[in-house]
Structure 1
């Protein structure tokens, strides 16, 4: 949020967003109300609310600020080659592009990472852990409904988002719903695939809005996808003129809601390190990339562990995971549950070469190194 303020995007972001004050947890079989996760002092302490928005609307907002000639679409990367003076990528349409550096921000199955690692493995420079495949922890069915009429449920009359988690204690399924009056949720960035067999299995699952089929019936089939949730923290973040950020180098489970946040924080810290480069000589690039990793690795490792732990509590079906869930949901006070959130909120890296956003909220913020260049 402070970076969005720096970029002059904060108010625009709020206009496409809905606050998310609380998450309610139910037993997926009986719809017994278990608990809620909230943080009533969030705004006072952090200075910001949690907000929910459509990815498509965020993309539109960001794209509206970027000159159209700076972005090329439909480019599938086939190869990456680098030498002392440049890095070159070649796309499937037989076009090629050269630059001083290449930032691989292309997701969990990053083509940039795969090309880089293939070369490092040939040279005997790739750690063994980075040769292993990502762990597939869960498979999920995701969907976004059409715009729903307010008569569908009274929650749609509110100006904030309702978040519900139905935990399948008697099955291998856990269900999450987010309901908001925002019409932009009609759009989705997920691939258009149909998985009728799994849809039929979950058709009668219970939700606060009636059987899940009520939501499915208001969802276009090409807005429903089956996806896999992987996680992995890679050790190799850069080599030569190539550097990785976001899911390309640390794929977190979505249970903690920190994947996109950490990707954006990567971008901020990498930009800060690149800003201080005096030339594009290999040794200066390596110093900047090393500095970037040193700023980010320990924080990402904590987030990786936290996302795994949260996933066990939210989705786990083993006896010890159910025990953990009962302890967290029924015994721990809300103050204990919000402690991790407050600690995470104190980490707010900003763009060092732009005017700093004044601190919001009462909580202490982790100090940030000032730019060496004024």
Structure 2
């Protein structure tokens, strides 16, 4: 399908945020033929952070867009996550070895900035307006438009606004303020994010494979160590002879978490990073008898970031001509590796709904938003709950976390884990206005609503 095959009724869309979700949204709007602009609050599109994971639940979309090979080039496959105690004695593993048989795809590990560059290369730079911090939004239903006011005094209008501006979304805050004043905001949405962990992450430069033989392997050793009273740390080999690593401090009381909330920041280097690092430098690295300082000191300072791992599932995802995606409406803890996947799934489902718009009226847009929400909310809630459970297993240090981890690793049969994988393996939403990726694996994709305007042929499976 060509983006010029028909005139789409939506005249223009504003996207707040040039993160992963915002960039993928831009790519799909371009495929549909909907004009758009991205309002990015930073002075440049620069993704910090470290290891990320994507797998079967979104890879068909990358295949549809012709960028799956690009993703695989920056990635290393991952079939398990291994837990160790502080003496490096294995505590157990979480296996993902059945994914390829079920879906035809494996989970892979890579670093966030490199995926950002892949998506960014598909979006014209002229479409991204920098230094555009959203301050307030105004809905004008009678004029069929929404106005966005930015901190620099500029304003922009469009038929629709997509809030892809992350955990501390200015779009969400402005939308919720308006709804709260009208008595339309659910009580749950007035509560703050819950803070679970303080985290420091980084990615090394190239290291010596002779000193660290795991770098020679073509799969990722994702090893996480539980130690101390509230400490958790680990590392993983990735492509180009590098390690990506992370160190977590768990907040064990609500008072402690509230205190940290005032110090919250986005991804980025902070003065407090050095102080927290001191608690981890002399702890064992899971590879080659090294200490964590050996890989921290091999990490460029600009690639070390500190963040607070928070979580919340919001009830309100849209109102009027504004809709939220990704972390702006569901912030998952990272242990499950499903945060980016769920943001991308939001984008895919929302794009399908926008593709089928009959006109740009408030009635049609509300119907599209309702369809998006109905398809995504329960899936996001399932992923959110899974992220809470995985955080307890992979990093939790309270007595209840330890109990859950012991039961999961020692008493839960492997076939139960596989059954859980199979239960969710079918949810692999695709872009319904592009040729569909071939069906692979033993678990068929879940049915999706068809786009009324276009029935795409399947992609031809590679020989």
Shorter chain as denominator, the TM-score bin is: over 0.9
SS at match of 1:165: strand
- Which residue is 1:52 aligned to? 109
Deviation larger for 314-323 or 175-184: 175-184
- Which residue is 1:351 aligned to? 431
What is the CA distance between 1:184 and its match in structure 2? 8.0
Residue number among 178, 198, 216 corresponding to 2:276 in the alignment: 198
Q: Structure 2 regions of 5+ residues with no counterpart?
A: 1-58, 245-265, 455-463
Change (3 A) 1:82 1:56: same
SS at match of 2:210: helix
What is the CA distance between 1:302 and its match in structure 2? 1.0
What is the CA distance between 1:229 and its match in structure 2? 0.9
TM-score by length of 2: 0.77
1:181 correspondence with 2:239: yes
SS at match of 2:129: coil
Give matches, 1:58-69, under 5 Å.
58-69=115-126
- Which residue is 1:92 aligned to? 151
User: Residues 99 and 421 of structure 2 are in contact (CA less than 8 Å); yes or no, is this contact kept in structure 1?
Assistant: no
Give matches, 1:144-293, under 5 Å.
144-168=203-227, 170-182=228-240, 190-194=267-271, 195-209=273-287, 210-293=290-373
More helix by share: 1
What is the CA distance between 1:185 and its match in structure 2? 7.2
TM-score by length of 1: 0.94
What is the rounded CA distance, in whole Å, between the counterparts of 2:425 and 2:192 in structure 1? 31
Change (3 A) 1:185 1:273: farther
1:135 correspondence with 2:194: yes
1:372 correspondence with 2:372: no
SS at match of 2:61: helix
Kindly tell me the number of residue pairs found equivalent between the two proteins.
Answer: 371
CA RMSD of aligned residues (A): 1.8
- Which residue is 1:110 aligned to? 169
What is the rounded CA distance, in whole Å, between the counterparts of 2:364 and 2:147 in structure 1? 19
What is the rounded CA distance, in whole Å, between the counterparts of 1:232 and 1:17 in structure 2? 29
Give matches, 1:299-310, under 5 Å.
299-310=379-390
User: Residues 75 and 239 of structure 2 are in contact (CA less than 8 Å); yes or no, is this contact kept in structure 1?
Assistant: no
Greater than 4 Å deviation, 4+ residue runs = 183-186
What is the rounded CA distance, in whole Å, between the counterparts of 1:282 and 1:40 in structure 2? 47
What is the CA distance between 1:143 and its match in structure 2? 1.7
What is the rounded CA distance, in whole Å, between the counterparts of 2:240 and 2:136 in structure 1? 41
- Which residue is 2:88 aligned to? 31
What is the rounded CA distance, in whole Å, between the counterparts of 2:217 and 2:243 in structure 1? 15
What is the rounded CA distance, in whole Å, between the counterparts of 2:286 and 2:176 in structure 1? 46
1:42 correspondence with 2:119: no
What is the rounded CA distance, in whole Å, between the counterparts of 2:431 and 2:96 in structure 1? 28
Report Cα offsets for 1:229-263 as digits up to 9, x if no partner. 11111111100000001000011111111111000
